[in-house]
Amino acid sequence: MTAYKTVNPATGETLKEFPLATAAEVEHALADSKAAFRDWQSAPVEARAKVIARVAELYRERRDELARLIATEMGKPLAQSRGEVGLVADIYAYYADEGPSFLQDEILDVKGGGEAIVRSAPVGPLLGIMPWNYPYYQVARFAAPNLVLGNTILLKHAGSCPQSALAIEQIFKDAGLPEGAYINLFLSNDQVAEVIADDRVQGVSLTGSERAGSAVAEVAGRNLKKYVLELGGSDPFIVLDSGDLDATVKAAVSGRMGNAGQACTASKRFIILEDLYEAFVEKFTARMSAIKPGDPLLADTRFGPLSSQGAADSLIEQIQDAVDKGATLQTGGHHVEGPGAYVEPTVLTGVTPGMRAFSEELFGPAAVIYKVATVEEAIELANGSPYGLGGAVFSADAEKAKDVADQLDTGMVFINSVAETQADLPFGGVKRSGVGRELARFGMNEFVNKKLIRTPR
């Protein structure tokens, strides 16, 4: 059975196929990961960090070939693909530099005297389940802190980016990571469940859909395994006022259209105070209408295809559902004529409860704009989503924006900026957007044994 294959979403052409791992290969990987853990956890943290520093160097050295690979596999334009590779290198370098300090013993000031310390220790082999939209970045968020910590990694990547998955594994090998410390596996869903349940695996991290997150959490919970889930988002972009509406609209379009809108932290719901609403809709729609699709392998392309024809079809169905139920299509809303999984940049207004676009995540180049009369109404609408990943608040009054940010039910809020990712900023959400945190020092505090060592007086 073939479940992993490279299909160029710009052309629909199948380029390469890979078989699922056999039962024997899975068992071998589990045994190797457990065996590697015994040695890897015992290596000095400085030695582990040195290997991860070399990983960062290799990403920088191979930036162009890695960028072309994901442009081919999931349609990300070269400029954005190169940006992803650069960010990934920064993440590995960050944990190589800062990781050892994050693992220093914490000395407790305890009553009764004596000594008490908390030591951060690894827990063992971990399973990572990663998506296609940021093939290198999603893996780095999970792998970098855990490898420096001393855990070992089994990695199940998305079925649509197998060559990217293999390229990641090769970088670890070339960087000098011990055999078995990072193993790529092409697994079915049934095999994933079996790996999570295996006694040798101590935790699982998934970035993906709500459905996948629920399934993984159920299996992990039944087997008493720790899990981290980074799931969907429907991030609000709230405009309270604007000293420069053109700049605000430019940021809004950027926040919606990066990676063809296929980002969990993309701005998706634009909530505008009524005195700015008409002007915002006009300017935003004009900018969205002017965006033209192109071949992701061309250097000047900024808007590529969606990851697959299925993804494009699903987005069109959500848009059409809103229009059929009375929403206004300001621009877009259709497939782009010709080959490839392209969807026109789309703007919807008049979206109301009962429409799929009101409550579901739109994972692609489609934006919904809402008009509200008060700040309180903006906050209520923003918090009315089942998601709680990120959000943005724009205002000339930074303190007012911060006050609104404090009232949003999200894991991240950005003031006068769309969502950004840095190695030293924590990433994660609340509600149906997931459980746990990645990046910064928080990335080392999920799959760790915070071991108390007490010496009484």
Which are the catalytic amino acids?
230, 264
* Amino acid occupying residue 366: A
What does the alpha-carbon distance between residue 262 and residue 243 come to, in Å, rounded to a whole number?
29
What the block records as the tokens of 130 is 């990663």
What does the alpha-carbon distance between residue 423 and residue 414 come to, in Å, rounded to a whole number?
16
Ordered strands of the 106-107 beta sheet: 106-107, 115-122, 448-455
Bridge-partner residues for 331, per DSSP? 347
CB atoms within 10 A of CB 402: 13
Would you give the DSSP letter of residue 259?
Answer: G
Measure Cα distances from 94 to 154, 220, 340 in Å: 22, 30, 37
Q: Is 77 left (phi over 0), alpha (psi -120 to 50) or beta?
A: beta
- Coil, strand, or helix at residue 243? coil
What does the alpha-carbon distance between residue 6 and residue 165 come to, in Å, rounded to a whole number?
11
Q: Which of 93, 278, 54 is nearest to 171 (CA)?
A: 54
What does the alpha-carbon distance between residue 408 and residue 411 come to, in Å, rounded to a whole number?
9
Q: Which of 435, 439, 389 is nearest to 142 (CA)?
A: 439
What does the alpha-carbon distance between residue 70 and residue 88 come to, in Å, rounded to a whole number?
13
The helix-helix angle for 137-149 and 78-102 (nearest 10°) equals 20
Dihedral sign, Cα of residue 113, residue 115, residue 120, residue 123: negative
| Residues 387/369, Cβ–Cβ less than 8 Å | no
What does the alpha-carbon distance between residue 256 and residue 266 come to, in Å, rounded to a whole number?
5
Bridge-partner residues for 230, per DSSP? 207, 434
Dihedral sign, Cα of residue 179, residue 181, residue 184, residue 188: positive
Residue that has been written with the tokens 């877009």 in this structure? 332
Q: Which of 144, 40, 150, 41 is nearest to 93 (CA)?
A: 144
Dihedral sign, Cα of residue 193, residue 195, residue 198, residue 202: negative
**C-alpha dihedral, 25 to 29 to 30 to 35, nearest 10°:** 140
